[in-house]
Structure 1
Amino acid sequence: MTTLENRTHALAMASEAEVTAVREVLLAAGLLGETVRYTFFAPEEPPKSEVLAGAETDRRFRVVLLDIASGRSWDVVASTTGVVSTRGIEPEREGQPPIIDTEFEMIEEILNGEREWLAALETRGIEPASVRAVPLSAGVYDYPGEAGRRIVRAFGFQQDHAKDHPWAHPIDGLVAYVDLTTRSVDRVIDTGVVPVPETTGNFDDPEVQGEHLDLKPISITQPEGRSFTVEDGHVRWGKWDLRIGFNEREGLTLHQIAFDNRPICYRASVAEMVVPYADPAPVRFWQNYFDCGEYMFARYADSLQLGCDCLGDILYTDAVVADDLGNPRTIRNAICMHEEDYGVLWKHSDMFTGSRETRRQRRLVISFFTPIGNYDYGFYWYLYLDGTIELECKATGIVFTSGTPGEYATEIAPGLGAPFHQHLFSARLDMTVDGPRNAVEEVEAARVPMGEGNPYGNAFRRRVTRLSRESDAQRDANAATARVWHIVNPDKRNALGQEVGYVLHPTGQPTLLADDASSIAGRATFATKALWVTQYDHDQRYPAGDFVNQNPGGAGLPAWVAADRPVDGEDIVVWHTFGLTHFPRPEDWPVMPVDYTGFVLKPAGFFDRNPALDVPPSSQGHCH
């Protein structure tokens, strides 16, 4: 176990001892009090240059504090021995700290003390004790007096009994705006009684599930054990070498990813995600949630279970976060790591030589799963034997519901609607393809008109556009032209004289569909483009800004790229927006089968030939 005396790597995950020590430092400095709560805690990573140089640095941690009585908040950096810096946060300009459990837990009490809320429930014939209140991030709109105040907007769902899933019974046409600091209701909006759907959402009820299928067990074994090793977060597998990390905002992070001792990516993470909804109804138009920046969603990560979440010869890793009071909380089995067969890697049966060779693909899987409200998200990083890196995000759980199916929602059960929405993720890829100086080229297919040089009209070529500055490195995907982005090193060439590189393959799904003039487009500008490229800056970590909750907009990527820095042959960060546009189906109820999204990074000229020629054939016991 890591202790304060047993110093870990500069990028290591936090330990219980470190969380406790930092709390003692803040307490001694007078920064903690009876009404002060933690809203964020994570290791404060040193600048890249210091880590790559192997410099000895103190372990530092970033803590965002909130006084729930006054609404004041502070951004603090501390080591285990002292406070390094502290500054007050300006909510009206910068936004609010994330919403925390302490605040979620007091919502029902606040609402049940509000006369208008109780009157609206009485009109509907609903007992307040049966209502589960769901407080949601407020966004920023033109309501007088909300700027600078800590606001949430709350829906109600009826719960018939302790095991009843209330998502099946939305109390539509009703929403309350709540001030978390004064613990009071600003306003109740009641647009009229809507029948509460009576369908069941109890997917875990054996009667709802029906008789189970007769499926025989699948057993995955590795008689000789795993092929990978992990020591203090340092992972080695085949030619792969990397570090893993974890924090409550991004969840799983990968660091210093290298293949055959050649660096590819210094740091990879999902740095933000936003879920904008499409229903413009008076009680719903504001629905859009930044699950990373507003809720610190990875603090709720599941403790994974063998045979359920992970299958095979599994190595689990715990993660330590801080609770609202700053005490350590260990998430057991937060990260799952295992190997997985992935079919044929390469194969050829030759008609001239008679050779028949087959190799099987295998991938190292590093994953975690986190529930946040109604949805559950899984994040799976895959490393393949041929040098490919893939991120797959899985969305499951329960779709958000309404009592008004119609133009902007699917009827998924009798009287039960599921509003249209998107899940848009931002991957932050701090690239170091064979070194710190990189550049990005947009590569796509281009038709060649029939004519001289192409008399039969069959020709097409590659169109290559070098992205030189941040202003032209804001790009959309285009599946019609097979558009991809090559991240190259202008200082390194392969045996064929080509710049070594990795190619980012987008899925090509829509980016943000809200109007460009909308509040959410101003706050989630990162989601309006599939690709951004910025010059590296240690302080530029989150694409929608440091404080997303009630941020007025313009923070993060749009603010940074206004400097229009050069990105050709610089130390660069690639930001990739990808995701799902979800028109829910009846098949998504009462629990949604997993939907998938993600992207792939494949070597393109990084190697001089197939790097997986040295993969051994399957043993005779498995290949006849």
Structure 2
Amino acid sequence: MASAPQKATPSCCIQNDSASIRREAASAVSVAAAAATDVSQDWNVSSTDLRADHQNRKIAMASLIRPEPSTNASTKGIQIMPRAQTSHPLDPLSAAEISVAVATVRAAGATPEVRDSMRFIEVVLLEPDKHVVALANAYFFPPFQPSLLPRTKGGPVIPSKLPPRRARLVVYNKKSNETSIWIVELNEVHATTRGGHHRGKVISSQVVRDVQPPMDAVEYAECEAVVKDYPPFREAMKKRGIEDMDLVMVDAWGVGYHSDADAPSRRLAKPLIFCRTESDCPMENGYARPVDGIYVLVDMQNMVVIEFEDRKFVPLPPADPLRNYTPGETRGGVDRSDVKPLHIVQPEGPSFRVNGHYVEWQKWNFRIGFTPREGLVIHSVAYVDGNRGRRPVAHRLSFVEMVVPYGDPNEPHYRKNAFDAGEDGLGKNAHSLKKGCDCLGYIKYFDSHFTNFTGGVETIENCVCLHEEDHGMLWKHQDWRTGLAEVRRSRRLTVSFICTVANYEYGFYWHFYQDGKIE
């Protein structure tokens, strides 16, 4: 049965009583420590690090958020102090870190022309090795369990600091048509101010030959404008009875690789055409009216139509308002009136606790991440299993790809084989969720940050939802002799996000159950 919920502040977890923080910190320092076999010398406490380490201890006392007592911590061993650290190694990049990474790469451009030609496809956290995560969880962040680290013959080693966070950038140079991958260190030690921008340190850069990175929303819009302004295309649409270009929808699709003509030495797109019936209906489903028989090939680097054929006249599907995503009365139908309000109430707050991106609920604990490609990522999933302590269950959970093969041999559908994560990005297309319909109950939201095509930072607020759900009956037993019964309700923790890629809605839900199941 679910444990009784505790009263929580609106932020779900943060306590601000400095005296109680000191008491908690003092009680947390006496835990066992064991060293990871791969610990770098940079993380060992040496005589030159003692003063900095002493200062870190003072900072930790002032800034430490109250950790939950560890069920797996031993009172034996050496004395340690959880160090103050701004970001966990697995925390998603902040808006400031993305800006630093972009500015660093842009400043590394050889000439102003190179810098101006850079288009930023993706800026994400370069996730560290597992032993770095173990160090962070043992000494710097909840769950504060040195026993997570393997033991070594040399004895315990207390790290004085974690390695710097790093960003991985995928950059497309529009002028040279080259794709490169950059690794940038975000350590404040390397940050400088030049030209009004803070910059980190470039660790490596590599040009990747014969590839094309995903297209961006800016390119989609430019491609649509170029095709609509192409005279032969306008003439072909006129033959189909369409003269208002505001009704026309042009979706750029990657060409795939069907022959050497599709080689990635060129940045090409073969758009698909659709048409709405009313320009004043923003929710009209234009995808219900495809325009077939028109072949267009666009050079996305130079934004010009390089091939065009009106191959076959195919009549447009008739208008059908019932296909639109609008209220029933606007489509000639009615909305249901027999559904009464349903309210989810948790008067004492939720049973989960949140500390930054760290989540604890029942026996579960994990960290929430987010990437522009995969969307929701769940790190370091563990279950506290009685005397066995914290049992690692999964290092990383995510949906790495969503492939949509249409399977139609006819033109142009045979080449429709969408990779919705890799080509469009599930995370970049995530919704800003609304309380009351997207999520019900006591909600904790998480924001996400990512770069746009020109290197600016964009934020999707409330894109990840964390909440509890009643899940029916967990178990029940009745003694047939006495008539006495025992019953328990089931509860689950749900972490979710929703995205729309073109005309496809995807809802991703991770459910954590009280019996140790993940769904």
State TM-score, norm by structure 1: 0.59
Task: State the shift of 1:128 in Å.
Answer: 5.8
**2:450 maps to which of 298, 321, 336:** 321
Q: What letter matches 1:60 in structure 2?
A: R
Q: Deviations over 1:423-451 (max 9, x none)?
A: xxxxxxxxxxxxxxxxxxxxxxxxxxxxx
Distance 1:339 1:228 in 2: 8
Residue pairs, 1:507-518, within 5 angstroms: none
Instruction: Read off the aligned partner of 1:59 and give its amino acid letter.
Output: R
Cα distance change on mapping 1:231 and 1:42 into 2, 3 Å: same
Name 2:179's counterpart in structure 1: 73
CA distance in 2, matches of 1:305, 1:230: 20
Displacement after TM superposition at 1:24 (Å): 2.1
Matched, 1:58 2:164: yes
Q: Which deviates more, 178-187 or 305-314?
A: 178-187
Write the distance in 1 (CA, Å) between the matches of 2:407 and 2:446.
38
1:133 counterpart letter in structure 2: V
Query: Which residue of structure 2 lines up, in the alignment, with residue 15 of structure 1?
Result: 94
Whole-Å Cα distance in 2 between the matches of residues 207 and 109 of structure 1? 30
1:242 maps to 2:366: yes
Q: Which residue does 1:434 correspond to in 2?
A: none
Structure 2 unaligned residues grouped into runs of 5+: 1-10, 12-62, 64-83, 137-158, 187-199, 385-389
- The DSSP-based 3-state class of the residue aligned with 1:300 is coil
Deviations 1:323-370 (A, max 9, x none): 112222111001100000000111111335654211111000000011
AA in 2 matched with 1:230: V
Counterparts of 1:88 and 1:152, CA distance in 2? 22
Aligned equivalents of 1:284, 1:305: Cα separation in 2 = 35
Contact kept? 1:370, 1:377, Cα under 8 Å: yes
| Residue of structure 1 in register with 2:18 after alignment | none
Specify which of 152, 167, 173 is matched with residue 287 of structure 2.
Answer: 167
1:464-485: CA deviations, max 9, x gaps?
Answer: xxxxxxxxxxxxxxxxxxxxxx
Checking the alignment, whether the CA contact within 8 Å between 2:478 and 2:486 is kept in structure 1 is yes
Aligned partner letter, 1:239: K
Could you say which residue in structure 2 is the equivalent of 1:259?
Answer: 383
Alignment partner, residue 71 of structure 2: none
2:226 to 79, 98, 110: 110
What letter matches 2:280 in structure 1?
Answer: A
Q: Distance in 2 between matches of 1:324 and 1:345?
A: 49
Offset of residue 124 of structure 1: 2.0
**Structure 2 Cα separation of the partners of residues 44 and 145 of structure 1:** 31
CA distance in 1, matches of 2:262, 2:285: 36
185-194 vs 272-281, greater mean Cα deviation: 185-194
1:223-242 to structure 2, matched below 5 A, reads 223-242=347-366
Determine helix, strand or coil for the equivalent of 1:18.
Answer: helix
Question: Residue 144 of structure 1 aligns to a residue in which SS?
Answer: helix
* Structure 2 residue 340 is the aligned partner of structure 1 residue 216: yes
User: 1:276-322 CA deviation, whole Å, 9 max, x = no partner?
Assistant: 10111122110011111111231121100001200111111111111
Query: Once the 2 structures are TM-superposed, how far is the Cα of residue 131 of structure 1 from its aligned partner?
Result: 1.4
CA contact (8 A) 1:304 1:310 kept: yes
Q: CA deviation at 1:217?
A: 0.4
Partner of 1:203: 325
- Tell me which protein shows more helix as a share of its residues: 2
What is the aligned partner in structure 2 of residue 177 from structure 1?
A: 297
Give the corresponding residue for 2:217: 101
Q: Which amino acid aligns with 1:330?
A: T
Q: Is the 8 A contact 2:119 2:173 kept in 1?
A: yes
Give distance in 1, aligned partners of 2:172 and 2:244. Answer: 30
Q: Is the 8 A contact 2:106 2:118 kept in 1?
A: no
CA distance in 2, matches of 1:371, 1:203: 14
Cα 1:83–1:128 shift into 2, 3 Å: farther
The 3 A distance-change label for structure 1 pair 13 and 316 is same
- Cα deviations by residue, 1:132-171 (Å, 9 ceiling, x for unpaired): 1111122111153644211111111122313143213211
CA contact (8 A) 2:471 2:491 kept: yes
Equivalent-residue separation in structure 2 for 1:143 and 1:171 (angstroms): 27
Indicate the percent of aligned positions where both proteins have the same amino acid.
36
Aligned to 2:204: 85
Distance apart, 1:219 and its partner CA? 0.4
Residue of structure 1 equivalent to 2:498? 369
C-alpha distance in 2 between matches for 1:302 and 1:209: 29
Q: Secondary structure at the match of 2:428?
A: helix
Distance 2:184 2:244 in 1: 44
Question: Whole-Å Cα distance in 1 between the matches of residues 458 and 296 of structure 2?
Answer: 32
Superposition deviation, residue 88 in structure 1 = 0.4
- 1:302 is aligned, of 400, 417, 431, to 431
The one-character-per-residue Cα deviations of 1:401-421 (angstroms, maximum 9, x if unpaired) are xxxxxxxxxxxxxxxxxxxxx
Equivalences for 1:401-440 in 2 at 5 Å? none
8 Å CA contact 2:290, 2:317 repeated in 1: yes
Q: Quick one: which amino acid aligns to residue 172 of structure 2? A: L
Map 1:179-194 to 2 at 5 A. Answer: 179-194=299-314
How large is the RMSD of aligned CA atoms in angstroms?
2.1
Query: Could you tell me whether the CA contact under 8 Å between 1:317 and 1:333 is conserved in 2?
Result: yes
Structure 2 distance, partners of 1:153, 1:328, is: 29
Q: Give SS of 1:17's match.
A: helix
Alignment gaps of 5+ in structure 1: 391-624
Alignment of structure 1 residues 471-620 onto 2, 5 Å? none
Contact 1:150 1:179 in 2 (8 A): yes
Q: What displacement does 1:85 show?
A: 0.9
Q: Aligned in 2, Cα 1:16/1:77: closer, same or farther, shift over 3 Å? A: same
Structure 1 contact 40–296 (Cα < 8 Å) conserved:
no
- Taking the aligned partners of 1:387 and 1:36, their CA distance within structure 2 comes to 47
Question: Contact 2:252/2:269 (CA < 8 Å) preserved in 1?
Answer: yes
Residue 42 of structure 2 corresponds to which residue in structure 1?
none
- SS of match in other structure, 1:105: helix
Hey, what's the Cα distance between the residues in 2 that align with 1:248 and 1:377? 15
Does structure 2 retain, via aligned residues, the 8 Å contact 1:245–1:253?
yes
Give the SS at the match of 2:271.
strand
The letter of the residue matching 1:38 is F
